[in-house]
Amino acid sequence: MGSVSHSWSISFFLVALTSTFVGTSMATGYTTVFRPSQWSLAHATFYGDETASATMGGACGYGNLFQNGYGTDTAALSTVLFNNGYACGTCYQIMCAQSPWCYKGVFATVTATNLCPPNWSEDSNNGGWCNPPRVHFDMSKPAFMKIAQWKAGIVPVMYRRVPCIRPGGLRFSFQGNGYWLLVYVMNVGGAGDIANMWVKGTKTGWISMSHNWGASYQAFASLGGQALSFKITSYTTKETICAWNVAPANWNVGLTYNTNLNFR
């Protein structure tokens, strides 16, 4: 990308939107509401081509984004936004601002599925777009092309967190072995993020799972031959929900198990 500089003098009159998606806290029974955040300033670039094939996989561990329901409306976050993977699954509205390359009055809604790593060999204002402390979105090309002409390379944007609207329930993808269970949690609604997770077999109590990386959590325990339930706490709203009997006693690694439960 070429060198681009922008002078920011943006003021917006914003009307706060209230989310209609709610959830009930397992601990207290009160209703948790996730609302959109305020608009903030950032920049955006894109990676890959129109097929978005370069976005498959990614640091969050979602694998094939088409098969797992994320499609092409995705973005890699700079280190500041990525938050060591705790931002995986979060959703953002992004609109181009104060650039001749902008498509005016439109925005893209994207899911965070990847990390845009620092590039310390480049100046932060000339190629090192994702270097801390920059707030930056490296969008899929199809998502970027919704807000600006791709020839721009980089554009100033306004962005905000919004509720993730997901069809269906949470999905749990299993990896690991007989003594180590690694679970990728996908299709998370509401705030889209996870702070803590526990697993329970039919012969165990609740076992705390540690954050591995991205959207994956792990438990070092022998859980074979037991039906598995999961308890999950949202990073943003602190709401906790419990998904009982997600996987049957004959569960296996390499499989994904669906539920009818989700954050709202």
In this prediction, residue 18 carries a pLDDT of 29
In this prediction, residue 30 carries a pLDDT of 38
Q: How far is CA 194 from CA 146, 148, 178, 251, in A?
A: 28, 31, 25, 23
Q: For residues 23, 210, 139 and 135, what is the CA-based torsion angle, rounded to 10 degrees? A: 90
- Locate the domains of the chain by residue range: 40-161, 170-259
CATH-assigned architecture of domain 170-259: Sandwich (2.60)
**HSE-CB of 190 using CA atoms within 13 angstroms:** 27
Tokens of 219: 């438990």
**Tokens 């903030």 map to which residue?**
40
Inter-residue contact 61 to 171 (CB < 8 Å):
no
Q: 196-212 burial string, b = 16+ CB within 10 Å, else e?
A: bbbbbbeeeeebebebe
In this prediction, residue 230 carries a pLDDT of 98
Prediction pTM value? 0.86
What lies within 8 Å, CB to CB, of 184 at 6+ separation is: 61, 62, 63, 172, 173, 175, 214, 215, 216
Tokens of 60: 């969050």
Inter-residue contact 160 to 38 (CB < 8 Å):
yes
CATH topology (fold) of 40-161: Barwin-like endoglucanases (2.40.40)
At residue 216, the 3 state secondary structure works out as: strand
In this prediction, residue 51 carries a pLDDT of 87
Alpha helices in the chain (DSSP H): 79-82, 141-144
Residue 236 carries which side chain, given as an amino acid letter? T
Closest by CA position to 17, among listed 47, 39, 1: 39
As averages over each run of 10 residues, the pLDDT of the chain (264 residues) reads: 34 30 40 83 94 90 93 96 97 96 96 96 92 96 96 96 96 95 97 97 98 96 97 96 97 96 92
